[in-house]
Structure 1
Amino acid sequence: MTTNGISKALKLQFGLINHENRYLTAETFGFKVNASSSYMKKKQLWTLEQDEQDGQVVLLRSHLGRYLAADKDGRVSCTAEEPDSDCRFLIAVQLNGRWALQSEPHRRYFGGSEDFLSCFAQAIGEAELWAVHLALHPQANLLSVARKRYARLSAAGAEISVDSNIPWGVDSLVTLVYTDGKYCMKTRDNRFLSKGGELLKEYEPQTGFTLEIRSGKLAFKDTEGKYLAPTGPTGTLKSGRCTKPGKDELFDLEESHPQVVFQAANKRYVSIRQGVNIAANQDMETDMETFQMEINKETRKCMLKTNEGNYWTLDSLGGIQSTATEIEPNATFHVDWLGRAVALKASNGKYVSTKGNGQLAATGDTLGDGELFQLRLINRPILVLRGEFGFVCHHRSSNTLNVNRTTYDIFSLCFSDGAYHIKSGDGKFWYVSSSGLVCSDGDEPEDFTLELQDHGRLAIRGKNGLYLRGDPSGALKCDADTVYDTSLWEY
């Protein structure tokens, strides 16, 4: 389902964490369930489905496509390919944000630890409480269901306004931060949204919200039991008066595609300011010089979308125009990643070149200065990375980085002449040690280059020419000579 004609709402998957800080796990062998894992990986992912007839009833589907069930004796299983009455649960959200799952037909509560799970408790105790940990990447665009408008940091920077027709530019990036079973909402400049709508530099209890899922949509409840909603003509995002979420209090999360600017060899920015023709003829960056990269999962070719909703396309004479309104072969481009520069190859097999007047045309057979562009990613000033084994965060007792954590650290991304510097929260920089380990306590910045190689994932290359990869031991290393699964990062 497309939302507002822009993108698809993200499928809501999550982990359920019990009172011993262990994740509910669906094992491949025998479809058994337990709560033994300290990490959220594939086996710990659950999808919530709501009953079409009774919106209060939910179904929990494992990564294997089987449904969690509890019989009248409290025995728990996860073998059903199609849901029956034993698969029906009710969610009782507690004040601390945790869920109690009650069997709808048998009225008993689900809980336990390790291999000893059951659904037989008559009352909610500590063992029957589950924290909800969203599995999607925490950086996204936030869409109001009622207003059909996107949230963004206001021009004055004083509030989050829900008033944007399209999620364009860096101000539309929202980062969700999971803390103590609740979610905080961060703007692109690392400030927290409070329940009163103010933006605070530091975390406070009033910036934490309980996450609720209603008919596949999200609602955010504050510490007083009231819900976030857009208010007033600019859609100021703050807690309203409602203690029960209606349409005004519901939101979708949508994928935040990379948005970039291109600078040609003439040092001018590529733009649509002059009309349908794409030309490198501007000295300033605005929305008209910003393009959204939408990368095809199968071909890894990209489409470049303008803020007017059209795509770059190759015309019959080899020129590049912004006239395509849908996916078509002439609107796809192959990107050559060349360190600090990129080259674009059009569907005619020619490289996109910059003419003397700045016009772009796919006429280049070989690479020269006219075929090179500097690409800058603009809508990730703060960066959260997730790889094959988990999120990237600081090692607890050294200057290295872990790649297998269920929680994440937020890093700053600073552009520098075609490369990037990655900075930790304490102001120290990433660098590659002589042993190939990536460290995070550098006093001086070190260059890394980014390659947006796959849908929603990028590769990072160090100054040694090798790629960062996640090691099964949990370390972040810079020693991969090619891009493969462990050297691609959700961002």
Structure 2
Amino acid sequence: MAAGFNETLLWTFGMVNSVGKYLTGEKFQDKVVANGSSLKKKQIWTLIRVDETKIALKNSFGKFLTADVKGKLDCSGDSVGDGQKFILETQESGQVAIKSVAFGRYVGGSGDDLSCYDQTVDPTNLYMIHLALHPQINLRNVNRKTYVHLAEDGESLNCKEEIPWGYDAMLILEYHSGRYAIRAANTKYLRRDGELVDELDDNSLYTLVFRDAQVSFKDCKGCYLTAVGHAAKITSRKSSIGKDELFYIEDSHPQIRLIASNGKYVSIRDGVEVRANHSDATDTEIFQMEAVDRSDLSGNVKWAFRSNNKNYWNSGATLTAEGGDFSRETAQFTVEWMGPLVALRAANGRYFSVTSNGKISASSAEMADNCKFVFEFINRPIVVLRGDFGFVGTKGSSGTLECNRSQYDVFGMTCSAGVFNLRAVSGKFWKVEADSSITTHGDKATDFFIELRAHTRMLIVAENGKYLKGQQNGGFSATGDSVEKNTLWEY
């Protein structure tokens, strides 16, 4: 695991030139052009860190951006050699220039006429970074080593949590024409004076400034967000960047609660033993689910469960939360989904069962009633969904949901006893129409079930038992029969 509670994200982003076009990696002849009008698959680049200063850029086809001594620029690199090493030079504007390490020249040009031959930087060499990572994140301050979270009064963001625990630490990083807004779990925007507001304006937009794997947020007056005072309130203060102004962007893993067959929450409140013995829910009844293999999109990934004592579940004679990693088989579990209920199987192939006094052990060969838990997903009070073809959003004023949009909608999501309801900003609920399409026309809540099936990806099950499925033309309907790429939704 990287430093910090979660792993720092792998940087994926688009690069927008001075005329608003995205750098695009083509498969045909390994061309690289600047003609993309929005951030789609061919416009996404992955930053591969070579060392503290040098990077490589990999396109969506797995090829590396490559420059040669004559200034030719393409995506012909299969691996990282001298021609694939670059430096991103951040400008005062927040834009970056892409400089070849081997030749000391800058990437520039427009349209189909790109090269790496410029010796100096002008507007044609500058790119704005448009992050392609999923916008729901955690933010960790470099100096304080603590996480940003919604204050108890809901009026500000503080940076005091040692671990990003519960719904309040989930943030949305929202892109707006080259700048970003920070949206709290209550959907409000962070203004430069530290207040949370309903309406977005220039005072709530920030330019990202990159420092290796860290970022700073520069406001419209040239000052940077920092954590101030004992309360560690996030506000703009200084006009220069120090450790207090630097943040890590990290994945916001799913956090859940489980209610056992005895009606009690699964808990570690009384020590390292995991038991189902408390009627109320605190941080000790929340557990973070982490996919063991984060590259596995088969839908059958094994899961590790992390508690707020920073340790992972371990299955022995009893279930405990001890150990700082999930490399042991006894810390890896299979989850079986049954509507609002789940069952968990340990490495010995047996199901966890619960006794009347709350003891949990992997001892049941069959899935009896005392092996079933109500599943509650608690750190997505609002949700942004992205599929293989783009984000989920509403088509104009029609209320019909589409799944191929470059801009997303933010939806409210509530969970009660394992049943989920989704609501649009209009206040209307998601509804399954007669043709199985999904709209936001519901006057009353429609029930859905959630299945976490891969790293940051889930299935959404409608009342007809079908999975919500996406199509390239934007179709979004309750018609899926199996776990596949277009039924898995990144959240």
Does the pair score TM above 0.5?
yes
Partner of 1:248, secondary structure, is: helix
1:131 is the counterpart of 2:133: no
> Partner residue of 2:375?
375
- What is the CA–CA distance in structure 1 between the aligned matches of 2:160 and 2:483, rounded to whole Å? 39
Partner of 1:190, secondary structure, is: coil
The 3 A distance-change label for structure 1 pair 470 and 39 is farther
Question: Could you tell me how far 1:99 is from its partner in structure 2?
Answer: 4.8
Indicate if the aligned counterparts of 2:429 and 2:440 stay in contact, CA closer than 8 A: yes
> Partner residue of 1:273?
269
Q: Deviations over 1:412-468 (max 9, x none)?
A: 101133211111111111111111111122211101100001111111000110001
Residue pairs, 1:80-91, within 5 angstroms? 80=77, 81-82=79-80, 84=82, 88=86, 91=89
1:67 is the counterpart of 2:65: yes
Indicate if the aligned counterparts of 1:71 and 1:86 stay in contact, CA closer than 8 A: no
Indicate if the aligned counterparts of 2:106 and 2:125 stay in contact, CA closer than 8 A: no
Residue pairs, 1:348-363, within 5 angstroms? 348-363=348-363
Q: How many residues align?
A: 481
State the identity as a percent.
37
Indicate if the aligned counterparts of 2:65 and 2:84 stay in contact, CA closer than 8 A: no
Question: Could you tell me how far 1:70 is from its partner in structure 2?
Answer: 7.5
- What is the CA–CA distance in structure 2 between the aligned matches of 1:453 and 1:227, rounded to whole Å? 38
The 3 A distance-change label for structure 1 pair 84 and 324 is closer
Question: Could you tell me how far 1:103 is from its partner in structure 2?
Answer: 7.1
> Partner residue of 1:44?
43
Instruction: Look up the equivalent residue of 1:266 and give its one-letter code.
Output: N
Instruction: Look up the equivalent residue of 1:233 and give its one-letter code.
Output: H
Residue pairs, 1:291-302, within 5 angstroms? 291-297=287-293, 298=296, 300-302=301-303
What 5-or-longer segments of structure 2 have no aligned partner? none
Indicate if the aligned counterparts of 2:10 and 2:47 stay in contact, CA closer than 8 A: no
Partner of 1:425, secondary structure, is: coil
Q: Deviations over 1:65-121 (max 9, x none)?
A: 42253766x6543335445479646646464x55565778677672312x2335678
> Partner residue of 1:8?
7
1:410 is the counterpart of 2:407: no
Instruction: Look up the equivalent residue of 2:469 and give its one-letter code.
Output: R
Partner of 2:386, secondary structure, is: coil
Residue pairs, 1:422-441, within 5 angstroms? 422-441=422-441
> Partner residue of 1:219?
216
Instruction: Look up the equivalent residue of 2:283 and give its one-letter code.
Output: D
Partner of 1:146, secondary structure, is: coil
Question: Could you tell me how far 1:282 is from its partner in structure 2?
Answer: 1.2
> Partner residue of 1:162?
159
Instruction: Look up the equivalent residue of 2:448 and give its one-letter code.
Output: F
Indicate if the aligned counterparts of 1:49 and 1:216 stay in contact, CA closer than 8 A: no
Q: Deviations over 1:341-385 (max 9, x none)?
A: 111112222221121112222222333331211110000111011
> Partner residue of 1:476?
476
- What is the CA–CA distance in structure 2 between the aligned matches of 1:443 and 1:21, rounded to whole Å? 40
Instruction: Look up the equivalent residue of 2:10 and give its one-letter code.
Output: K
Q: Deviations over 1:295-321 (max 9, x none)?
A: 2225611111110012222223xx322
- What is the CA–CA distance in structure 1 between the aligned matches of 2:400 and 2:244, rounded to whole Å? 44
Instruction: Look up the equivalent residue of 2:462 and give its one-letter code.
Output: G
Give the counterpart of 2:258 among 237, 262, 277.
262
> Partner residue of 1:112?
110
Question: Could you tell me how far 1:40 is from its partner in structure 2?
Answer: 2.8
Give the counterpart of 1:240 among 228, 233, 237.
237
> Partner residue of 1:29?
28
- What is the CA–CA distance in structure 1 between the aligned matches of 2:212 and 2:90, rounded to whole Å? 15
The 3 A distance-change label for structure 1 pair 412 and 394 is same
Q: Indicate the larger mover: 225-234 or 202-211.
A: 225-234
> Partner residue of 1:323?
322
- What is the CA–CA distance in structure 1 between the aligned matches of 2:406 and 2:287, rounded to whole Å? 32
Instruction: Look up the equivalent residue of 2:332 and give its one-letter code.
Output: T
The 3 A distance-change label for structure 1 pair 82 and 322 is closer
Q: Deviations over 1:14-62 (max 9, x none)?
A: 0123455442111123210123334433322223467858x5x765443
Indicate if the aligned counterparts of 1:142 and 1:252 stay in contact, CA closer than 8 A: yes
Indicate if the aligned counterparts of 1:296 and 1:454 stay in contact, CA closer than 8 A: no
The 3 A distance-change label for structure 1 pair 84 and 331 is closer
Question: Could you tell me how far 1:186 is from its partner in structure 2?
Answer: 0.9
- What is the CA–CA distance in structure 1 between the aligned matches of 2:407 and 2:66, rounded to whole Å? 26
Give the counterpart of 1:283 among 264, 279, 282.
279
Give the counterpart of 1:171 among 168, 171, 188.
168
Give the counterpart of 2:248 among 243, 247, 252.
252
> Partner residue of 1:311?
312
Q: CA RMSD in A?
A: 2.6
Residue pairs, 1:143-222, within 5 angstroms? 143-222=140-219
Indicate if the aligned counterparts of 2:83 and 2:100 stay in contact, CA closer than 8 A: no
Question: Could you tell me how far 1:410 is from its partner in structure 2?
Answer: 0.8
- What is the CA–CA distance in structure 2 between the aligned matches of 1:59 and 1:124, rounded to whole Å? 22
Q: Indicate the larger mover: 83-92 or 24-33.
A: 83-92
The 3 A distance-change label for structure 1 pair 124 and 265 is same
Partner of 2:370, secondary structure, is: helix
Partner of 1:309, secondary structure, is: coil
Question: Could you tell me how far 1:181 is from its partner in structure 2?
Answer: 1.5
- What is the CA–CA distance in structure 1 between the aligned matches of 2:122 and 2:352, rounded to whole Å? 64
Instruction: Look up the equivalent residue of 1:12 and give its one-letter code.
Output: W
- What is the CA–CA distance in structure 2 between the aligned matches of 1:477 and 1:20, rounded to whole Å? 37
> Partner residue of 2:466?
466
- What is the CA–CA distance in structure 2 between the aligned matches of 1:361 and 1:50, rounded to whole Å? 43
Q: Deviations over 1:449-490 (max 9, x none)?
A: 000011111110001100011112111111011111110111
State TM-score, norm by structure 1: 0.90
Indicate if the aligned counterparts of 1:151 and 1:163 stay in contact, CA closer than 8 A: yes
State TM-score, norm by structure 2: 0.90
The 3 A distance-change label for structure 1 pair 67 and 86 is closer
- What is the CA–CA distance in structure 1 between the aligned matches of 2:109 and 2:213, rounded to whole Å? 24
Q: Indicate the larger mover: 333-342 or 14-23.
A: 14-23
